[in-house]
Amino acid sequence: LDAAIVEAARVALWPAIDAHIRGSVPNRGPGRFFFPMPFEPPCFSTAFMFNPEVLAVVRIMLGERYVADQWGCDVCAEGSAHQGVHVDYRRPLFEELPDLRVPAYMIVVNFSLAPIGRADGIEIAPESHLLPREHAIAAVQADRIPLELVLLDPGDILIRHPWALHRGSPNVSGRPRPLVSIRYVRRWYSDGSREVSTVPAAVWNALTDEQRAVMRFPVATT
Ligand SMILES: O=C(O)CCC(=O)C(=O)O
């Protein structure tokens, strides 16, 4: 992603991140906060949600009929510990067959606003989304699938299958570490699993019809 746009978002978001850490109860484990990203520019930019190269990958994974249904930020701060390894979705397609192997129907795109390094990283178990959940967890616990630390520079993009096991590692960098997320899902899938912000009318009105068709978010009327 363009460095200047990412930096503008970081500068605009930082006070909200600070206020959130001071004023809220961690909701993703000790020292960890998820909050819905605002749609006010420059925190939001069409360059983030409609990046042509990312959308080319989304189309390969999900087909032409997809929508974005999450725009959020995971912040890990001082006091965070290793999360338990987990997946990022709430409802399998068929509750009675949670391990049924089907083509992807959602994909998560993360990008960093600030450098993400060894002191505040996120670890992913590659290919663990291909295994039944119990097997995947056992393989990670026995180190048969080693967790890989993902290091990101500002604007680097991480595209991941939400079924892949992962965990945030402790933040010992001395500053909060934000990781922005966009989730794209096939149009027919919905699980309301994360809180989302409302799109201001002015932002909505500035989008093209094609962009609006991809945005599944509440929109302000005035
Ligand atoms: O921000 C991170 O390090 C990962 C957070 C995460 O995976 C979660 O809270 O579900």
In this prediction, residue 173 carries a pLDDT of 92
Mark 182-210 as b/e (b = at least 16 C-beta within 10 Å).
bbbbbbeeeeeebebbebbeebbeebeee
Partnered with residue 167 across adjacent β-strands are 123
For 161-208, write each residue's pLDDT tens digit.
Answer: 999 999 999 999 999 999 999 999 999 999 888 999 999 999 999 999
Mean of pLDDT values over 130-139: 94
Atom 4 (ligand 1) nearest CA: 168
Average pLDDT of the chain, as a whole number: 95
Residue 48 contacts by C-beta under 8 Å, 6 or more apart in sequence? 1, 5, 9, 111, 180, 182
How far is ligand 1, taken at its centre, from the CA of residue 154, in Å? 17
d(CA 110, CA 165): 15
Q: How confident is the model at residue 92 (pLDDT cuts 50, 70, 90)?
A: confident
Atom 3 (ligand 1) nearest CA: 168
Ligand 1 contact via 88 beta carbon (within 6 Å): yes
Closest-lying ligand 1 atom to the alpha carbon of residue 169: 3
Ligand 1 contact via 166 beta carbon (within 6 Å): yes
In this prediction, residue 193 carries a pLDDT of 85
Mean of pLDDT values over 35-55: 97
Q: How confident is the model at residue 132 (pLDDT cuts 50, 70, 90)?
A: very high
Question: Order of strands, edge to edge, in the sheet holding 157-160?
Answer: 32-36, 66-76, 177-186, 106-112, 157-160
Whether the model clears a pTM of 0.75, i.e. scores above it, the answer is yes
Residue 218 contacts by C-beta under 8 Å, 6 or more apart in sequence? 196, 198, 199
Q: 3-class SS at 212?
A: helix
Ligand 1 pocket test, pick from 122, 123, 148 with the greatest ligand atom count within 8 Å of Cβ, gives: 122
In this prediction, residue 86 carries a pLDDT of 93
Q: How confident is the model at residue 121 (pLDDT cuts 50, 70, 90)?
A: confident
For 4-30, write each residue's pLDDT tens digit.
Answer: 999 999 999 999 999 999 999 999 999
Closest-lying ligand 1 atom to the alpha carbon of residue 166: 7
DSSP string over 65-109: -EEEEEEEEEEE-TT--PPPPB-S-S--SSTT-TT-----SEEEE
Residue 44 has pLDDT above 90, yes or no: yes
Residue 111 has pLDDT above 90, yes or no: yes
Q: How confident is the model at residue 110 (pLDDT cuts 50, 70, 90)?
A: very high
Q: 3-class SS at 33?
A: strand
Ligand 1 contact via 122 beta carbon (within 6 Å): yes
pLDDT above 90 covers a percentage of the chain that reads 90
d(CA 24, CA 5): 27
d(CA 161, CA 104): 8
Ligand 1 contact via 69 beta carbon (within 6 Å): no
Q: 3-class SS at 9?
A: helix
Residue 90 has pLDDT above 80, yes or no: no
Question: Which tokens belong to 170?
Answer: 């402790």
Instruction: Quote the DSSP letter at residue 144.
Output: S
